[in-house]
Amino acid sequence: MTSPPVIAIVDDDTSVRDAMGRLVRSFDLAVELYGSGAELLGSPTLGRVGCVITDVQMPQMNGFALCEALRARGCHVPIIFMTAFSEQGYEQRARAAGAACFVNKPFEDTQIIRCIERALAGGQEPCPPPCD
């Protein structure tokens, strides 16, 4: 029996991260919360991640850099980008990076859940296990 895919939520804002975690858990989905892209990349459970929801603007490593780092590791899970800043070109950049979805904060609960459902239905491969 395989374990359900984990939804990894990456956001440097603790309140957003926690609220997103509660929302996604309320739909009986497994969730792991990360305060930065580096935390996700260093996670021993990265191989169980089935979808990543990441903020675009974060210190040290933004959402686009996280996406590039995941792809460089052979991790082709769907990525949902979210942002409170409607910078010109963010959505186009996310689409070019292969985003499963792009949402502007604040968003409706139903909007992010639809994005997750669509991402998980895409059938992409999970991340390979980290090398020792």
Q: Would 106 be classed as within a structural domain? A: yes
Q: Please state whether the peptide bond connecting residue 130 to the residue before it is cis, i.e. omega within 30 degrees of 0.
A: no
Quote the DSSP letter at residue 5.
P
Q: Which residue carries 């186009």 as its tokens?
A: 92
Q: Would 96 be classed as within a structural domain? A: yes
| pLDDT tens sequence for the chain (132 residues) | 567 789 999 999 999 999 999 999 999 999 999 999 999 999 999 989 999 999 999 999 999 999 999 999 999 999 999 998 877 788 898 999 889 999 998 899 999 999 999 999 875 555 665 543
Answer yes or no: pTM beyond 0.85. yes
Q: Would 127 be classed as within a structural domain? A: no
Looking at residue 132, its pLDDT comes to 36
Give the N- to C-terminal CA distance of the chain in Å, as an integer: 25
Q: Would 131 be classed as within a structural domain? A: no
Quote the domain boundaries for residue 106.
Answer: 6-121
